[in-house]
């Protein structure tokens, strides 16, 4: 019997993540029978390449999904809220990269290295959510430690690339960097402050508790993915002038006694993780090395000498790939292999 192939749609195909989704489908040889590339009316008629063919971009509407088996969405939360239900009504399964559905109890929130079996919950709404980019790379590194030693508390600070905000933010960092070097006026439209040569402790909107929405995503999504409401997480999320690759300083307190060498040995054999940790030779994970790759890199693994069962580590991954497109396509692969 010929292997099954699927009619696939990418909503937000012209964006930073959408383009990477198209590349991931190609690179991973996803069994695509047909592909629809969807974006706003602004992009209608643009042509993008898929597997050597030019495909014309069409407008995303309620009627885009007839005959589509799997739709990968990355066109913003409002667009997902509006169009994912229509896709589901057409019998299509949506894998959504926005934050719109992540905390819905009827929508699985999946990182394939951590909770692949959660995909089984998709029939309730026909939607599966892809977690926040910073959360994905953190739980890939945390889950093996949680399974072995039990994690009590996590304190994380992030150093997040501008590509997470989209193509306009990549252009803004490029333009501002050039303007500063050429001594011309710095223009800003995406971020409230200059991002070039700066750090902004502000990602997504501020909430009533003083945290940003991005910080609270890391708290709530971590608990949902790792299926443990007792894990305490506190986060400070910072945008830095890096194009691709989020970095995170992660401090962990475990329930059982643990040592840095045990954590390194455990992570060496954990799925999706590569330990890069030879500080004597200046070797540790860097966003410029992680860019374009699909693994989560962990280094600077140290005992936290200030508490009994504590570990510090530095976690880096490509936010557009593992943090978004790759994780989405991995979820689609599980759907195709086990459910559709
Ligand atoms: P478009 O290029 O037509 O604006 P990024 O995160 O890089 O900014 O990309 C966002 C993606 O979401 C783009 O593909 C964009 O399409 C798409 N998008 C944004 N708003 C809508 C909308 N209302 N309907 C359909 N697609 C949208």
Q: Which atom of ligand 1 is nearest to the CA of 16?
A: 7
133 is catalytic: yes
Tens of pLDDT, residue by residue over 140-164, are 999 999 999 999 999 999 999 999 9
For the segment 267-293, the average pLDDT, to the nearest whole number, is 98
Which pLDDT belongs to residue 234? 98
Each residue's pLDDT tens digit, 188-203: 999 999 999 999 999 9
Three-class SS of residue 42? helix
User: Ligand 1 test: best mutation among 40, 55, 63, 173, most atoms within 8 Å of CB?
Assistant: 40
User: Average pLDDT, stretch 117-145?
Assistant: 98
| Residue with CA nearest ligand 1 atom 3 | 40
Cα 15 to averaged position of ligand 1 atoms, centre (Å): 6
Query: Which atom of ligand 1 is found nearest the CA of 167?
Result: 7
B/e letters for 153-179, b = 16+ CB within 10 Å, e = fewer, are: bbbbebbbbbbbbbbebbebbebbbee
Taking residues 96-114, what's their average pLDDT?
A: 98
Average pLDDT, the chain: 98
Residue of 92, 133, 146, 199 marked catalytic:
133
Cα–Cα nearest to 134, from 156, 108, 166: 156
Output the CA 40–ligand 1 centroid distance in Å: 6
Active site residue 146: no
Helices 213-225 and 133-149 cross at an angle (nearest 10°) of 40
Residue 1 has pLDDT above 90, yes or no: no
What gap in Å lies between CA 272 and CA 241, rounded to an integer?
A: 26
pLDDT at 2 over 80: no
Could you give the percent of the chain with pLDDT greater than 70? 100
Q: What sign does the dihedral 124-130-37-21 (CA atoms) show?
A: negative
Distance 16 CA to ligand 1 centre (A): 9
Ligand 1 pocket: which of 10, 11, 14 to mutate (most atoms <8 Å of CB)? 14
Please tell me the pTM assigned to this model: 0.97
Nearest CA to ligand 1 atom 15: 12
- CA 201 from centre of chain: 19
Residue 279 has pLDDT above 90, yes or no: yes
3 has a pLDDT exceeding 90: no
What is the per-residue pLDDT for 71? 98
3-class SS of residue 120: helix
Residue nearest to atom 21 of ligand 1 (CA): 40
When pLDDT is averaged across residues 170-185 and rounded to a whole number, the result is 98
DSSP conformation letters of 248-261? EEEEEEESS---HH
Q: What is the dihedral of CA 91, 16, 317, 333, to 10 degrees?
A: 20
Quick one: pLDDT at residue 135? 98
Q: Which residue's C-alpha comes closest to atom 2 of ligand 1?
A: 14
Q: Do residues 282 and 260 make contact, with C-beta atoms less than 8 angstroms apart?
A: no
Q: Which residues line ligand 1 (CB under 6 A)?
A: 12-16, 18, 39-40, 42-43, 60, 75-76, 79, 166-168
């Amino acid at each position: 019997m010929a292997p099954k192939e699927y009619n696939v749609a990418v909503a937000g195909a012209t964006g930073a993540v959408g383009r990477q989704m198209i590349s991931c489908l190609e690179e991973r040889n996803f069994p695509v029978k047909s592909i629809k590339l969807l974006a706003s009316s602004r992009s209608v008629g643009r042509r993008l390449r898929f597997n050597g063919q030019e495909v014309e971009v069409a407008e995303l509407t309620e009627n885009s999904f007839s005959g589509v088996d799997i739709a990968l969405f990355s066109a913003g939360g409002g667009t997902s809220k509006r169009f994912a239900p229509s896709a589901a009504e057409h019998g299509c399964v949506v894998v959504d990269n926005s934050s719109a559905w992540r905390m819905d109890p009827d929508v699985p929130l999946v990182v394939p290295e951590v909770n692949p079996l959660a995909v089984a919950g998709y029939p309730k709404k026909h939607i599966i959510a892809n977690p926040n980019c910073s959360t994905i790379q953190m739980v890939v590194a945390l889950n093996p430690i949680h399974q072995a030693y039990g994690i009590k508390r996590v304190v994380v600070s992030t150093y997040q690339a501008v590509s997470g905000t989209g193509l306009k933010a990549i252009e803004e960092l490029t333009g501002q960097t050039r303007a500063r070097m050429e001594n011309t006026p710095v223009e800003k439209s995406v971020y409230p402050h200059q991002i070039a040569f700066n750090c902004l402790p502000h990602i997504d909107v501020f909430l009533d508790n003083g945290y940003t929405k991005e910080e609270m995503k890391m708290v709530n999504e971590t608990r949902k993915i790792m299926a443990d409401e007792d894990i305490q997480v506190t986060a400070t999320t910072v945008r830095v002038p890096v194009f691709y690759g989020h970095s995170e300083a992660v401090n962990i307190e475990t329930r059982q006694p643990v040592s840095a060498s045990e954590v390194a040995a455990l992570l060496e054999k954990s799925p999706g993780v590569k330990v890069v940790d030879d500080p004597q030779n200046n070797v540790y994970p860097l966003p410029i090395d992680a860019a374009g790759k699909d693994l989560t890199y962990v280094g600077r693994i140290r005992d936290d000498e200030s508490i009994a069962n504590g570990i510090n580590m530095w976690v880096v991954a490509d936010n557009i790939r593992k943090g978004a497109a790759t994780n989405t396509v991995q979820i689609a692969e599980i759907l195709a292999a086990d459910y559709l």
